Amino acid sequence: ARTAEVAAATTDAERKAARRSLRAEKQAEKKALDDALDEVREEDLLSQIRGQVLLIRPQAPVEPVRLERIRPRTLVSFIAGAIAAYFLLTQLAGIDFGNVFANTHWGWVAAAVLFSALSYVAAAMSLLGFVPERVGFLRTVVAQVAGSFVKLVAPAAVGGVALNTRFLQRAGVRPGLAVASVGASQLFGLGAHILLLLAFGYLTGTEKTTSLTPSRTVIAGLLTVAVLLLVVTAIPFLRKFVVTRLRSLFAGVVPRMLDVLQRPMKLVTGIGGMLLLTGLFVMCLDASIRAFNDGHQQLSYASIAVVFLAGNALGSAAPTPGGVGAVEGALTLGLIATGVPKEVAAPAVLLYRMMTLWLPVLPGWICFNHLTRKGAL
């Protein structure tokens, strides 16, 4: 009927009015049909669950956003880095680096580079010695090189643990076993570090030298560590904090060690890798000293080992990535205390850190990206 009215309309105004009326009636009819379908349509399961949740608890509590512009760890790292930088600047003041580098023995610099490169092979051995499963040795060496890049973006002794755990998981080791293997390696490394410090300290104390008696220094350091351990165990809050952190790292270490003990060659590889790693770092430091000391060395390897082990321990405890600042300061002080001139100790430590920390960063970044693309990290 409406269509007939539109056809019967004689004027344009009547025709437009009839069309508008017809369009409005069609829209109203369509809306009525949609409303009727919505009323009879059954709600899906998600909508029903949402409705019931809103009935039980109309509004969930919303915690305010925590604004933390500067974290305490960042502040401590900045302060420690500033103190270390001030100490290094005071030690470097007055040194004629032009004359020092002009008399540098580049053969010993090349030896330091070689010892630093071989340390990654020893690090791979120390890790694979506690992994009974079959993991590629060459790829493990590449992963240790990648760890040199991770050390700069994570605190010392944390970035390497996370990277090795991730690498073992990607290599097919189950997550729990991967964590246990890395924890066993770290635990044995800590024990080896303490035993080597005691042994080299005793050997150095028996030498016919009057400049330094590291045995007393080692004993004083161990007594300090013992007092700190007693304080930590006596305070419940600190004891709970340390136990929680250590439990997450060394969980499952004992069962893992039982698996490793069934393969004596694996255990020999792991312990041998740890000893070789320490020896290579000591020889790298020795070569760095010889590079600026006319190729001569008046210190014994035991004295250099004590200086290195003490500096490495401080670097692991420092909140700065890679122990930057703390290691340089400890090594420089240790070498000066053993009788090395300041003009030799400062550039030697800088060269050693260049070889073991800064120079491997670019190869580490390349290896890290390579392993990530290959799905090994």
Tens of each residue's pLDDT in the chain, 377 residues: 666 665 665 566 777 777 788 888 888 888 887 777 666 555 566 666 766 766 776 555 545 545 445 455 555 555 655 555 555 555 555 555 566 666 788 888 999 999 999 999 999 999 998 888 888 899 999 999 998 888 776 655 567 788 888 889 888 888 878 888 888 888 888 888 888 877 877 776 655 454 444 455 556 666 676 777 777 777 887 777 777 766 655 556 666 777 777 788 888 898 999 999 999 999 999 999 988 877 666 777 888 888 888 888 776 666 666 677 778 888 888 888 888 888 888 888 888 988 988 888 889 899 989 998 888 88
CB under 8 Å to 47, separation ≥6 — which residues?
A: none
Is there a contact between 91 and 342 (Cβ–Cβ < 8 Å)? yes
Please, are residues 250 and 187 in contact by the beta-carbon 8 Å criterion?
Answer: yes
Instruction: Kindly report the pTM of this predicted structure.
Output: 0.67
> How many angstroms separate the CA atoms of 253 and 259, rounded?
10
Measure the CA–CA gap between 369 and 154, rounded to whole angstroms: 17
